[in-house]
């Protein structure tokens, strides 16, 4: 599964302007580990989503 996600993430990175921002729910620890392993950094926390659940905002800036 991670290989497919990495391939998709590589495609998104190639088509981006160098900056990627995304959200994941705080309870989704697998996603948090994956995004942090891919170089994303936490830039915000909140719960402004339809589910009203705690979320984490990530950003990755290409070098």
User: How do residues 5-41 score in pLDDT, each as one tens digit?
Assistant: 668 777 877 877 778 899 999 999 999 999 999 899 9
Nearest to 42 by CA among 33, 51, 50, 30: 33
Please check the confidence at residue 63 and state whether its pLDDT lies above 70.
no
Domain ranges of the chain: 2-61
Q: For residue 30, what pLDDT is reported?
A: 95
Q: For residue 15, what pLDDT is reported?
A: 79
Please check the confidence at residue 1 and state whether its pLDDT lies above 60.
no
**Is domain 2-61 given the CATH code 1.10.10.60 in the classification?**
no
- In sequence order, the 6+-apart residues with CB closer than 8 A to the CB of 22 are 35, 40, 57, 58
Q: For residue 55, what pLDDT is reported?
A: 96
Give the global pTM.
0.77
Other Cβ atoms within 10 Å of 52 Cβ, number = 8
């Amino acid at each position: 599964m991670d290989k497919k996600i990495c391939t998709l993430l590589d495609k998104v990175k190639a088509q981006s302007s160098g900056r990627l921002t995304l959200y994941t729910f705080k309870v989704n620890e697998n996603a948090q580990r994956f995004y942090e392993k891919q170089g994303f950094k936490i830039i915000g926390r909140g719960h402004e989503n339809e589910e009203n659940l705690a979320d984490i905002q990530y950003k990755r800036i290409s070098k």
